[in-house]
């Protein structure tokens, strides 16, 4: 039997893995665009900004899944 808490944690993990995948994909895209001459600096900047937003969201989800334990 699953509880709402278990389902919520599963959904958080699933969402976090999807964000990590997008973050990795952006790494590849940014690398490819950076190697092209001339590079579209505005596009690269926007992709890097999106990557930072993803990183922050991943960290937030990790904190929800793994709360600090004060010993």
Q: What is the mean pLDDT of residues 47-66?
A: 95
Structure tokens at 70: 């004060």
pLDDT at 61 over 70: yes
pLDDT value at residue 7: 77
Predicted pLDDT of residue 68: 67
Q: What pLDDT score was predicted for residue 2?
A: 56
pLDDT confidence band for 71 (50 / 70 / 90)? low
How many other CB atoms are there within 10 angstroms of residue 34's CB atom? 14
Q: How confident is the model at residue 70 (pLDDT cuts 50, 70, 90)?
A: low
Residue given tokens 């989800």 in the structure block: 61
Domain boundaries defined on the chain: 4-65
């Amino acid at each position: 039997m699953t509880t709402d808490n278990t389902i919520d944690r599963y959904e958080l993990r699933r969402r976090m893995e999807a964000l990590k995948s997008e973050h990795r994909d952006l790494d590849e895209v940014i690398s490819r665009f950076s190697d092209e001459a001339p590079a579209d600096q505005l596009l690269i900047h926007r992709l890097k900004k999106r990557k930072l937003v993803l990183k922050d969201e991943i960290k937030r989800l990790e904190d929800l899944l793994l709360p600090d334990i004060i010993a």
